[in-house]
Structure 1
Amino acid sequence: MENLNSSNSSSLDSTSPDSGRLISSILLGLCCLLGLPGNIAVLLVIMRRSPQRSNFTLYLMLNLASSDILCLATVPMWIYTLLHRWTLDRAACKLATFLLYLSLYANVLMVTLLGVQRYLQVLYPQMWNRLRRKGEAALLLALWGLACALTAPAVATHDMGDGELKYRRHTGSEAERVAVLVLETLLGFVVPFSVLVTSYCCLQRRVNQMVLFSSAKLTWLVTSVVVAFFILWVPVHIVNVVDIAGMVLRASRPEALAVLLRHRSVAVRVVRSFTFVNSCLDPFPFLCSEL
């Protein structure tokens, strides 16, 4: 989830936009045009329901839509930055980093909780029911608090260099940079997806298929969101792994590093825009289920 405007390739620092920047900008623009109205529609549909008809899955979708709106609202700034340069000050740099990473981590945590809640509601309904409304509200607040905490490494390492019109990641050493990327990959993908896979595998093993799919609409909604999360986040973290491998190989295998960076620079900007595609697609399974 490294910033869209950072790159190790000097060719990407030129003032004229390359094909990767143009493709990424077009993709981001489409995400904003489709995703913002879609997520706002989700908010309106859920908020119009009476409290008696609402359940925790709907509240999770409400919070997921809120995190997606927060993510997509920053898109115009990223498009301008991709096509031109970062023109704002250091405070704006830190704020932009915080808002982007907060929305992305909140998105990941909400999707993970969707899967865990489905597991607990089917296998341990009495345990889940003990939470009640106050417990569910406290759980959601805790998730937003955790998302804020997880943004700390990104906010600490993204900055503007002296005399630079660029906003990118600055770290004291390559070891620190590797540590941050490993942390992002583990907490932003490996751990959440492992929890989701474990939850669904346990459901498949222990529950009769008719019971599992007794609420076909809910099952389709949760499964669609989880599958989209997996498909669109895998390429992002593959880039992180390539970055980590490149830094590890820098001293021992410079030839291998050159090959890695060449392939990375072609796709990096487009791949990292997939996180915005995920925020764009999230509302549509819910809206389709309401039709």
Structure 2
Amino acid sequence: MEHLNSSRTSTLDPTFQDSGRLTSSVILGMCCVLGLPANIAVLVVILRRSPRRLNFTLYLMLNLASSDILCLTTVPVWIYTVLHGWTLGRVICKLATFLLYLSLYANVLTVTLLGIQRYIQVLYTQMWSRLGSKGEVALLLAIWVLACVLTSSAVATRDVGEGEQKCERKTRSDAERIAVLLLETLLGFVVPFSALMVSYCCLHRRVNQTALFSNTKLTWLVTSVVVAFFIFWIPVHIVNVVDIVGIALRDSWPKASERLLRYRSTAARVVRSFTFINSCLDPFLYAFASRRIREKPKALSDKGESRMQSTMI
């Protein structure tokens, strides 16, 4: 996530820059005020249950709430940076970047695993049951390990220049910058969203064949998860694509490149705040899901009841 400052913004209209800073700060502040208590409430509600009553989906929601809390706790740092520039030094720049990207990648991977787990658990129940508790724990740990790996490129390229008040991405060449942006977009959006869409589309086709699964609330929940992920993440990666195009045009179309890169920098301040909105919205979607998981439809047989509950995200 390219935050806040860039050397290319210096030629922008100061009023335009101030408007971007103010909008970004307001969005970030609202996300922190609303999202932190809501995510903490989700943690408390789930943890109050007996560990023996927690299924893998609830553990994933714990994971999601934890990643959202980690993400939102970094918000005050970014608000201060938006308004006053970076004055916290190189080490804090690296640390804040690591915590932010770790939480965002863990969030994306958790949502993706929710979709894949639901697909396998409904259509290939025996395959999932063979995974066992140890396998489920391994999957939860794998989310954070993989998130750390994906975060490494962002931490390696984020730095504070000598005499500068900017914690920003610094690369040795345009090719390196393009590579980092492509990696971020492919692994942070394209691959996870593709996995979600394939899982949900395949599941939807199979589920519609049986009246047992025709549940409007479940359909709304599944749709809301995918739509929220798409809406709040695609603007970020559109900005990355614009950055890539601007860099690629630098030699052949220098004026067009300069214009793209200048306005991309200010737009980034606003659209990259959308990822925090996603962390703020998550607890409301998944708190509803948690309530659905705990419900036991009385009209279903034991076998039908078990399978129906396994479909609830």
Question: Normalised by the size of structure 2, how large is the TM-score?
Answer: 0.87
Counterpart amino acid of 1:23?
A: T
Counterpart amino acid of 2:243?
A: D
Aligned mates of 1:78, 1:186 — CA distance in 2: 25
Aligned mates of 1:212, 1:252 — CA distance in 2: 59
* 1:129 equivalent in structure 2: 129
Aligned mates of 2:40, 2:6 — CA distance in 1: 30
Aligned mates of 2:54, 2:262 — CA distance in 1: 50
Gap change, CA 1:199 and 1:267, over 3 Å in 2: same
Instruction: Tell me the CA shift for residue 101 of structure 1.
Output: 0.4
Question: In the TM superposition, what whole-angstrom CA distance separates every residue of 1:231-286 from its partner, at most 9, and x where no partner exists?
Answer: 10010000000000000000001232234235424422110100101101000012
Report the number of matched residues. 291
Counterpart amino acid of 1:2?
A: E
Larger Rg: 2
Segment drifting more, 281-290 vs 219-228: 219-228
CA contact (8 A) 2:5 2:82 kept: yes
Aligned mates of 2:86, 2:256 — CA distance in 1: 32
Structure 1 counterpart SS, 2:171: coil
CA contact (8 A) 2:12 2:262 kept: no
Aligned mates of 2:256, 2:141 — CA distance in 1: 45
Question: In the TM superposition, what whole-angstrom CA distance separates every residue of 1:125-155 from its partner, at most 9, and x where no partner exists?
Answer: 1111111211101110011000000001000
Q: CA RMSD in A?
A: 2.3
Question: In the TM superposition, what whole-angstrom CA distance separates every residue of 1:88-134 from its partner, at most 9, and x where no partner exists?
Answer: 12111110110000000001100100110111011101111111211
Structure 2 runs not aligned, ≥5 long: 293-313
Segment drifting more, 50-59 vs 183-192: 50-59
* 1:75 equivalent in structure 2: 75
CA contact (8 A) 2:28 2:276 kept: yes
Counterpart amino acid of 2:35?
A: G
CA contact (8 A) 2:72 2:279 kept: yes
Structure 2 counterpart SS, 1:277: helix
Percent same amino acid at aligned positions? 73
Aligned mates of 1:210, 1:51 — CA distance in 2: 32
* 1:183 equivalent in structure 2: 183
* 2:20 equivalent in structure 1: 20
Question: Normalised by the size of structure 1, how large is the TM-score?
Answer: 0.93
Instruction: Tell me the CA shift for residue 49 of structure 1.
Output: 1.2
Counterpart amino acid of 1:283?
A: P
Gap change, CA 1:209 and 1:27, over 3 Å in 2: farther
* 1:164 equivalent in structure 2: 164
Aligned mates of 1:164, 1:259 — CA distance in 2: 23
* 2:302 equivalent in structure 1: none
Instruction: Tell me the CA shift for residue 188 of structure 1.
Output: 0.2
